């Protein structure tokens, strides 16, 4: 579970929104990178599967015509 930090400015005791904004940007960037890696891996796996399937179908059709 993530820890919750209460970041406040020392002078006004107001919440430091810049800290949370930079933290949110970093988390969002990490999520985008993770999603890209997952999608790239998924697309590679689907392309490999399609290639194997195409080779199998083509070879099966060649044996039928012989």
The tens digit of pLDDT for each residue in 18-38 reads 888 889 999 999 999 999 999
3-state SS assignment for residue 5: coil
- Residue in 10, 28, 8, 27 with CA at minimum distance from that of residue 18: 8
In order of 31, 46, 58, 59, the CA distances from 39 in angstroms are 12, 10, 28, 30
Flag whether pLDDT at 63 surpasses 80.
Answer: no
The model's pTM: 0.53
What is residue 1's predicted lDDT score, i.e. its pLDDT?
46
Q: What is the three-state SS of 11-48?
A: CCCCECHHHHHHHHHHHHHHHHHHHHHHHHHHHHHHHH
């Amino acid at each position: 579970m993530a820890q919750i930090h209460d970041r406040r400015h020392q002078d006004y005791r107001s919440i430091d929104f810049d800290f949370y904004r930079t933290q949110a940007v970093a988390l969002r960037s990490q999520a985008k990178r993770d999603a890209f890696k997952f999608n790239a891996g998924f697309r590679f796996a689907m392309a490999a599967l399609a290639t194997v399937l195409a080779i199998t179908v083509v070879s099966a059709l060649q044996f039928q015509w012989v």
